[in-house]
Amino acid sequence: MRAQARTQSSIAVTGGNVAGGGSWVLVNASPDILSQLRANPDLQPGRQVRDSALVAIILVDAQVDHTTGLYMLREAVRPWPIWCTDRTQADLTRGNPILSVLSHYCGVEHHRIDFGSAAFAVDAVPGVRFRALPVAGKPAPYSPSRDSPISGDNIALLIEDAQSGRTALYAPGLGAIDDQLWDAMQSAACVMVDGTFWTDDEMIRLGVSRKYARDIGHLPQTGTGGMLEWLGRLPSATRKILIHINNTNPILNESSAEATEVGRRGVEIAWDGMEIEL
């Protein structure tokens, strides 16, 4: 077995000159954010004490693995501009009120993400536009709508280079692919999509949970209508990357038949420090 350790799913986006110490938007704040900052000097230019190159945060949902890093960012010198839907904001001020906890430290400047409206931009990161697409999924276990998801509980993020118009789609949690999302996937130059589980029953077979992938809002890679089938229908020029890979997924073992199969299909398996240029 050959498997490299991976920290938990999140990305940082910039439109500026990376080498020049540009400003970055963090999309999801994983529990591993401190190691991730240390491993990426671009994100920690060290211009002053407690400085980072992160200037805003976008959350795609209220899950623990996408929000716990906010605690580690609490000592920022100014309130964090945080973009999320009303649904996510509700869960993060009630069931798991991280945003309320932050008010005792750096504070939060909340920006609401709406659907259907124009794309939004983040002030200090010019040249990039974001658009949210609602996706089928599951809100966090502490959400009152856990068992009957509501639009806005989970989003996919379409990230556009304003100059070229090229887009990347970021969707770490994705229970199904509807027409709107499929349109976005087809027109994207790069799709980073839910790579959580290889099979629907993976956690059950390993005895770590009694839940199926689809029960918790994740489309497995294999089986009828699985992620690999969808990705196979995209243009061959589209960069296809599996992200948010659970530690039960056999593709993490680089010498596995499953990882080989993914590679054969022209699909990449994300790794820490991966850089994507649009």
Question: Where do contacts with a second copy occur on this chain (CB under 8 A)?
Answer: 5, 31-32, 34-35, 38, 49-50, 64, 68, 71-72, 74-75, 77, 95-97, 100-101, 104-105, 140-142, 206-208, 248
Strand pairing partners for 64?
A: none
Looking at the Cβ atoms of 149 and 226, the one nearer to a second copy is 149
Q: In whole angstroms, how close is the CB of 177 to a second copy at the nearest point?
A: 27
Looking at the Cβ atoms of 57 and 168, the one nearer to a second copy is 57
| Strand-by-strand arrangement of the 11-13 sheet | 11-13, 24-27, 54-58, 80-84, 108-112
Looking at the Cβ atoms of 23 and 30, the one nearer to a second copy is 30
Looking at the Cβ atoms of 111 and 146, the one nearer to a second copy is 146
Contacts of 219 (CB under 8 A, 6+ apart): 174, 175, 176, 177, 194, 213, 225, 226, 227
Q: In whole angstroms, how close is the CB of 141 to a second copy at the nearest point?
A: 4
Distance of alpha carbon 66 from alpha carbon 31, whole angstroms: 7
Q: In whole angstroms, how close is the CB of 78 to a second copy at the nearest point?
A: 13
Looking at the Cβ atoms of 119 and 208, the one nearer to a second copy is 208
Q: In whole angstroms, how close is the CB of 34 to a second copy at the nearest point?
A: 7
Question: CA dist 122 to 44, 67, 84, 88, 136, Å?
Answer: 19, 19, 13, 19, 26
∠ Cα 192 144 184 (to 5°): 25
Q: In whole angstroms, how close is the CB of 189 to a second copy at the nearest point?
A: 33
Token couple for 228: 């690999």
